[in-house]
Structure 1
Amino acid sequence: MAQTSSKIGGGLLVAVLLAGSYTFSVLNPGGGGTQQPAGDTSTPAVYVPPATKTPTSSTAPGTSVTPCSNCGGGGSLPHHILAGYWHNFTNGSTALRLNNINANYSLIIVAFTNTDPGKPGTVTFSIDPSLSSALGGYSQDAFINDITTLHAQGKKVIISVGGQNSSVSVNSADTATNFANSIHELMKTYGFDGVDIDLEQGINANSMASALRQLSALAGPDLIITLAPQTLDMQSTGHDYFQLALNIKDILTVVNTQFYNSGTMLGCDGKVYAQGTVDFLTAQACIQLQGGLRPDQIGLGLPAIASAAGSGYVAPSVVNDALSCLAAGKNCGSFKPSTTYPDIRGAMTWSINWDATSSYNFANTVGSHLGTLSG
């Protein structure tokens, strides 16, 4: 998530068919924007659709579904959720207090923590002075009071680690412990309900899994854990982000993959799909469903408006089509999953602030649609 303009990462990925297998090359790894790291430009492992496509859960369209009882983590979040990032900085989008967020957002992700250079793995947080000034004064106490207000409305607020400027590294036992302890302190100080991992410059799956398990032991079963990998990071279970998701599956709330700024990718059927289409969203989500994640652990991450990302923007109505396709087999494009996933968790957007510049078109369109999904 870029703090100065948009969430731009990755590059244009071109799938090349060679003797029945697929390789990838990365072109223009800096993407189309500014102030954003290139992300993971390593050659990904080849995704091979499993011989037997056994879904983690399925229900015939139209069948009623009770809320899943085995969801790992997440406290009292709704069955289907709309998540959005809130800017703790100014960048040309709408500056907002937490208590002025559109009511359709059930999970607010505060972006971002800072790094403590004197204690590796440790993160900190404070209200950005430029934001406070833009809002006519926004103190720590006011911020905490706003989180309390959101809690009273049934909303959850978590803190995000990563984004464009992050330099935190969790790659050892000591840094994992430092990370867990520092996030827990922020939760106690501000009232955060959990943590979002948005490390776009690489991740150590084992060390981060250890850190999040330590945090879970400190915070208890209501801890919310979300991940925000780039599309490339979830192309194969061999990738570190996918490994992390599977390593913490029992305590993981949702993976909100950034289905944008990614170029062309393979879908779970081995076909090539261009970003910015309903097929891209559904065929990418299918990889995660077939790779071992539950439907309730998968969210579709999209930019709220075109200027919030370098590429891959789709109208909110297309997000709705993708959710309907996955949940009920309706409004699909050329790709249609072999089964339905009425427990699909929902959507995420970068960002609430960018959404506010368009009168919350994303939240109003996608948020209202989530209530119509089966389950």
Structure 2
Amino acid sequence: MCSENQLTQVPTDLPPAVTSIDLNLFAPIPNLTQLRVSSTNLHTLDFLIHANLTKLQWLLARKNTFSVITEGIIKAMPSLTRLDLRENGFTCDCDNSWFVQWIKNITRTQVIGAQDFKCSYPSQRRGSKLLELDVQSCLVDIDFICFMSSSCFIIFFLVVSFIYHFSRFHLTYAYYIFLAWMFDSKNRQKRAESQYDAFVSYNTHDEAWVYEELVPHLEQEQGWRLCLHHRDFLPGKPIVENIAEAIYGSRKTICVISRRYLQSEWCSKEMQLASFRLFDEREDVLILLFLEDIPTCHLSPFYRMKRLLKKRTYLSWIKAADNPQLFWEKLRQALRSTNRAEEERLRLTVNQMHGVCFQPAE
């Protein structure tokens, strides 16, 4: 019977014990227009998806045990004009939402007895009608979700890119300031002896003075251990991390200040990080050494430095020309002083230094 290629309908219903159908059954009958699979134990009609029954017009599938009709099953029968699924126990949840919507909108296919389709699952809806299912609660606008998701991602990416482009240095600096604060808070009580006596913060244009004047006097003559950028920073480590470790790994920080220094973003961050440690720990860790006479008005952008200058006097190399030995002695005293601000502070006045110290005018 099934070997005839021109067969357009299955003459009789399938046996009741049938629980599945082999797809090879439909291979010889591509022109099938009517299919009866009523009163069987079929649990699903998914076999129709791959049965290639594009000319099927009438499907009679009453009294079976399947409960869900998927979109794929219906679309596999593009020529369907009559569908009889009465006396099946349907699942009344979102699994059948597409099928319910299709029944309500379809005009080309007659769904026999659709208004009487009953729910068997879930138990709280047993006996209610399938067409009463609220499909709106199941509908998910995938296109809208994709649009909103992609839009949010693009906006987020643009905002992050904008912030990173214009503020990456400040973000990195703030991140390491936070790490330094966390490290300092956890280790303040158990901090070991400092690796260096002083970290020297300077601009590369002032490097000659540092290596020709500062290093020979402090390291070679007096034996202080100094931390210098190009000599002691670990290669490959982020520069801000090197700076934080140098400042917190030294008893003092010497800021060699010049106009070039104030113009350098990295130098200003070094000074700010050192002053952050000063204010946070309330310890006298900061020594400001001016290579040039810099009016206070030029320090206006450096709020923290200006605040310090209102309270303290600092070493001036320009005014030390007449008595350089006194300059180095005062610097040695500053390095020797303890970090406890309450016990001992750096008191360098113009009279004491005989012109060696520099107090910026208000």
Using structure 1 for the length normalisation, give the TM-score.
Answer: 0.26
Structure with greater contact order relative to length (CA < 8 Å, sep ≥ 6): 1
Higher fraction of helix: 2
Of structures 1 and 2, the larger Rg is shown by 2
- Structure holding more strand per residue: 1
